[in-house]
A and B are shown apart, each in its own frame.
Chain A
């Protein structure tokens, strides 16, 4: 009997675990170690953050789902990996620390035959003074990264709306809280949902809404921008985005590294080296992401964290980490099998794998501050990685293959992204984007780096319907309800 442990029960880990159990059956063990008791459909947190959904609508308890599937669920966080075992045993194991109420703080060692790291991001609020401490959100801004954060954000938003109704003008600042952030798409969705909420509440004329981000141009999205096939033109996402911001009367500050946040004011440095400050009454600034801080030890107890993890805490996989400067980057730098190069029974998927480098061109201010969006790993590719790695491991366990048989390479796969620009059955809009491939391949697609037949974008009510339907479909799938395997990632 083989044992597969999946660290992290989010989008990629849950996909990996559920497919692993389906394919491996009762003969083999699948264990999920994750600190959360509930699964969260994170994309819909945006709607929680404007009061259009409740936290309960975007989450559900994991325990009954795993029980039904026959997956061994440990509500705990993984702390360390020991891929060579310890002095008296060669069995690889991880240490975990329980977070469930009944066992909180208790530790345990779990041996494994195969390990998937799907621990997602550490929300590194502490990287920007005033944004928060460590992984905890501070008092000056709000966040929509978790369902609880989003619930709190909505309360703050409602309080601003009340003030505006009483004649007090309010300034909203939405975007990224550091020069090395990713996830601009989430902030993009939030700013437009706020704009619609304020319009619906009849207070739009009392609000100044401003975007701030580390993108060198609006619409970079950490993907070096995207050219959409639109109306007979290869239209840059810069034009697409600027047009949408201009239409809705939103200002923007771009190329900004937010270096300090205080009550009601964010300080930033721009790409040209100048410093600025922006006052706000309400701010949602996405924190930078890092790995969750797992440690790794060799058989003799020596620390091998640097061997397994990149300096940003994400796990090394089969990527080319030595590409160097932007000019040398190639689509082939991106990993395919997501297997750790040192320990072949260890894989990383979703946000947890270390990308070889950003997708957007790195830029440095005259003061030496690097400002570059880090690469996004959105839901669809994260889940596809989870499934591909699971299929490889199942082949290793069931068929004795020695090499991974499945791949999920971001330079060879596309992403479908639907970014909400406001909720409403007949008044909502969203941007429906398909991007192929996610990482531009300038050798295969000279000029814009992407296949213009597969890279499209449009704004409208239909895309909102798609977004809303996807919310229900993906929660259905994650709950393993009938037909769940037929729903694509």
Chain B
């Protein structure tokens, strides 16, 4: 099946040599429900980092 997310990649260009996200991955990046979960996760991660960094 043709993958619309990959159509702009030129074979053997620099862009050809890396990972390209496809539909599912891109969908979840802006899926509000999933991103609410990620919002909580990011805040927890950052809080831990801040606590670790204060001397």
Chain A residues in the interface with B (C-beta under 8 A): 239, 242-243, 245-247, 249, 251-252, 380, 384, 388, 406-409, 412-416, 426-427, 429, 432, 434, 436, 454, 456, 458-463, 465-466, 488-489
Contact = CB atoms under 8 A, between A and B. Distances in A.
B41 to A, nearest CB: 8
Contacts of A249: 8, 15
- Report the 3 A-B pairs with minimum CB-CB distance, sorted nearest first: A246-B15, A413-B53, A462-B38
Contacts, number: 101
Given A414-B49, A414-B52, A434-B49, A247 B38 contact: no
Contact of A461 (B9, B29, B43, B49): B29
A459 B52 CA distance: 23
A454 B21 contact: no
Contact of B32 (A406, A426, A454): A426
Interface in B21-48: 21, 26, 28-32, 35-39, 41-43, 45-46, 48
Contacts of B11: none
A460 B28 contact: yes
A426 B30 contact: yes
A242 B49 contact: no
Give the secondary structure class of B's interface. Answer: helix
A460 B49 contact: no
Contacts of A380: 53
A460 B29 contact: yes
B7 to A, nearest CB: 10
Contacts of B46: 416, 432, 434, 466
B1 interface: no
A195 to B, nearest CB: 12
A408 B50 CA distance: 12
A479 B54 CA distance: 23
A440 to B, nearest CB: 15
Interface residues of B, number: 34
A463 B17 CA distance: 26
Contacts of B50: 414, 416, 488-489
A242 B42 contact: no
B55 interface: yes
Contact of A408 (B28, B30, B55): B55
Given A407-B55, A416-B49, 16 more contacts: A246-B16, A384-B53, A412-B53, A414-B50, A429-B30, A434-B49, A436-B52, A454-B48, A460-B29, A460-B30, A460-B35, A461-B30, A462-B36, A465-B39, A466-B42, A466-B46
B20 to A, nearest CB: 5
Residue of A245, A427, A461, A466 most packed against chain B (CB within 10 A): A461
Nearest to B5: A247
Given A246-B9, A432-B42, A458-B38, A412 B55 contact: yes
B2 interface: no
Best-surrounded residue of A380, A414, A460 (most CB of chain B within 10 A)? A460
7 contacts: A242-B14, A246-B15, A249-B8, A412-B53, A429-B29, A463-B38, A466-B42
